[in-house]
Amino acid sequence: MLVVIFGIYNNANAIPYTWEDSIAANVFFSHLGQTHTFTHYITDNGFVAGEDNVSSAELNLALSDDGNDSFELLWIHLPGPDALVEVNYTNVVLGLSLQGIAMLNAQGRLTVTLIDLFGDFNFNGSTLIAYGEKNSGANPVPEPATIFLMGSGLLGVGIVLRKKVKPRHE
């Protein structure tokens, strides 16, 4: 029973939140090995490292093919596993690894490096969307489960005291 009651308790300070950071770019990749590195900072949008918590995130890369080659390949270096993608006329959406999430939580930033492996294409920008909980910093508000537990405890103490202290009938 107590496990169920404690399971109802929730942290009233944590508020579901989304942080977003966009970077505009106009980079033309034209040769093998060409790189471009950029960093997303969610701290610019109110994220506080060490207080707030990112639970998942996605990276949207705006890429476009110039149509000159049959296909283009891009290596995306991220914290954790890297990604290899074929560049076409659509955006690339990547989920972040646990290492990427850990970097966001610890530092509030994510550094990405793009490496041209084959062909020529355009990098037009990137958007990082991080989902998690923002710590409101307010004092905890007692929730129904906490009040219920406190009331149950007081009721139990009252019953025990009432049984122990019985009036004497003379």
Mapping DSSP to helix (H, G, I), strand (E, B) and coil, where does residue 47 land?
Answer: coil
Residues 47-74 as b or e (16 or more Cβ within 10 Å = b)? beeeebbbeebebebbbebeeeeeebbb
Q: Please say if the pLDDT value at position 6 is more than 60.
A: no
Model confidence over 102-157: pLDDT tens digits? 999 999 999 999 999 998 899 999 999 999 999 866 555 556 777 777 888 888 88
CA distance 34 to 118: 10
Mapping DSSP onto H, E and C, the string for 101-141 reads HHHHHHHCEEEEEEEEEECCEEEEEEEEEEEEEEECCCCCC
Domains of the chain from N-terminus onward: 17-135 (2.60.120.760)
Among 110, 98, 19, which residue's Cα sits nearest to residue 61? 110
User: Of the given ranges (60-64, 87-91, 134-138, 151-155), which has the lowest mean pLDDT?
Assistant: 134-138
Give residue for tokens 């701290």: 43
Please report the pLDDT score of residue 151 as a whole number. Answer: 82
**Structure confidence by residue, pLDDT tens digits, 13-50:** 678 999 999 999 999 999 999 999 999 999 999 999 98
154 or 96, greater pLDDT: 96
Q: How many residues does the chain have?
A: 170
